[in-house]
Amino acid sequence: AQSVAQPEDQVNVAEGNPLTVKCTYSVSGNPYLFWYVQYPNRGLQFLLKYITGDNLVKGSYGFEAEFNKSQTSFHLKKPSALVSDSALYFCAVRDGSSGGYNKLIFGAGTRLAVHP
Amino acid sequence: DAGVTQSPTHLIKTRGQHVTLRCSPISGHKSVSWYQQVLGQGPQFIFQYYEKEERGRGNFPDRFSARQFPNYSSELNVNALLLGDSALYLCASSPARYGEQYFGPGTRLTVT
């Protein structure tokens, strides 16, 4: 069965330091991977996606993610964190053989707290 | 350009009642999906509609139904509400059958 795991409920980082939010996945076919961010009382905002190609994917707001097939991971990274990056981050996967529909499977989310 | 819009923003219902949630996709998007996000969890897929036909259904009871209109807007209906239906209901649109989905702000449903 397809699944996504975000092993950390919360990540704390100081402003200006690099940040990493971890994600591992399990799918039966080729993985289509996504990161979304959710601010309080808001919907999800798309950050980036991996479909195929380079393992390092660049997205919005200076975020990037590294796809690692052997470790089945898709960690979100940013070289220098901002206080405004504090939010809830979701990793999601769509199985390439999902049977004809665009179903995203989300992890439980990781709360990122960036301290001044 | 306007993003995905949803109405109402908040809703309070009593157990056993019925509710209708509405979603307008981004202009030009033909696919609408619905997700349920319970507090403290990631969103769970309920339905996808593409070109006015149901294309996928998640593991939700038959009390949940939806439809898509000719202008690609969509309604989610939930009958016989239970306390456990309290959640943020998210609508997402995409330009085609697959691809990244763009989410609306959600409708917060509280069942008492």
Q: How confident is the prediction for chain A on average, in pLDDT?
A: 92
CA distance B112 to B27: 35
Alpha-carbon dihedral angle through residues B29, A35, A16, A61, given to the nearest 10 degrees:
-20
Q: Which amino acid is at A93?
A: V
CA distance B23 to B32: 8
Contacts of A102 in chain B (CB under 8 A): 31, 33, 48, 50, 55-56, 94, 97-99, 101
**Average pLDDT value for residue range A35-62:** 91
- Position B107 confidence tier, pLDDT thresholds 50, 70, 90: very high
pLDDT given for residue B60 in this prediction:
96
User: How many other β-carbons are positioned within 10 Å of the β-carbon of residue A42?
Assistant: 14
**Average pLDDT value for residue range B19-47:** 95
User: How many other β-carbons are positioned within 10 Å of the β-carbon of residue A81?
Assistant: 21
Q: In 3D, which of A42, A49, A41 has the Cα closest to residue A104?
A: A49
Mutate to test the interface with A, among B101, B102, B107, B108 (most CBs of A within 10 A): B101
**Average pLDDT value for residue range B104-110:** 96
User: Residues of B numbered 91-110 whose beta carbons fall under 8 angstroms of chain A's beta carbons: which are they?
Assistant: 92, 94, 97-106
Among all chains, which residue has been given the structure tokens 């405004």?
Answer: A84
Q: In 3D, which of B82, B97, B2, B86 has the Cα closest to residue B48?
A: B97
Strands (E), B1-112: 5-7, 10-13, 19-24, 31-37, 44-50, 53-57, 64-68, 74-78, 87-94, 102-103, 107-111
User: By the CB < 8 Å criterion, does A101 face chain B?
Assistant: yes
- Position A96 confidence tier, pLDDT thresholds 50, 70, 90: low
User: Residues of B numbered 52-71 whose beta carbons fall under 8 angstroms of chain A's beta carbons: which are they?
Assistant: 55-56, 58
CA distance B112 to B109: 10
DSSP 8-state assignment for residue A100: S
pLDDT above 70 covers what percent of chain A? 95
Among all chains, which residue has been given the structure tokens 């309604």?
Answer: B75
- Position B1 confidence tier, pLDDT thresholds 50, 70, 90: low
Identify whether the C-beta of residue B47 lies closer than 8 Å to the C-beta of residue B35: no
